[in-house]
Amino acid sequence: MHAVEREKELYRDLADVRGLALFCALASALVAGLLGLKFGWYPVLAVVIPPVPVLVAIAVLDWRTRYIPNRLVLPATAYVVLAGVVLWLVVDAQTELIRGLLGLVAVRTFFWVLWFIRAAGMGFGDVRLSALLSFVLAYLGPAELVLGIWLGFILFGVPGLLISAIKRDYRLMRVPFPFGPFMVLGALLGIFLGQPVTDLLYG
């Protein structure tokens, strides 16, 4: 018995999927609302809130088509960096900007190396997505960055492990899954859990 890959959907067919647009809108509103509750009316919202609909769309698109469109991830990355620059000029958030840029360079380089050595499940779209996520996470803090990226990898291994355990066939762990949705989910968890984990470890 051989592992069977999940069937990919065509990008153009997603417009016909009933309820998908509503799901994305509701998910985006929920995440944005939770972020608003966490941070309150602080300038950092200019960095974390606007990318939310894009990240939800990327997660859904990658899950169903295994494709992360450049037209989504690249402008979103440019936006968050520009927002960081504006906040530096307006509210003197220089430390956050430098930290975000360093995190972006470090994490994107790490993902590029994984892609270059042909790591399982890694596409170049994931490399580009890592730049967007790592800037936002690092802008918020080192704990958010480390936890958010680490959780993405941990969550990525869950589907294959569960399926193989249920089917009692560990060859099914080789069934490929898109990495993007787990990167996004891990990043969101890192945002919400980064500070509590830091307080728990060092408080």
Number of domains in the chain: 1
Query: Phi-psi bin for 177: left (phi > 0), alpha (psi -120 to 50), beta?
Result: beta
Domain containing residue 165: 11-202
Is 89 part of a structural domain of the chain?
yes
Is 6 part of a structural domain of the chain?
no
Q: What is the pLDDT of residues 156-187, one digit of tens each?
A: 887 666 665 665 655 555 666 789 999 999 99
pTM of the model: 0.88
Is 37 part of a structural domain of the chain?
yes
How much is the pLDDT for 199?
84
Is 110 part of a structural domain of the chain?
yes
Q: What is the pLDDT of residues 69-111, one digit of tens each?
A: 999 999 999 999 999 999 999 999 999 999 999 999 999 999 9
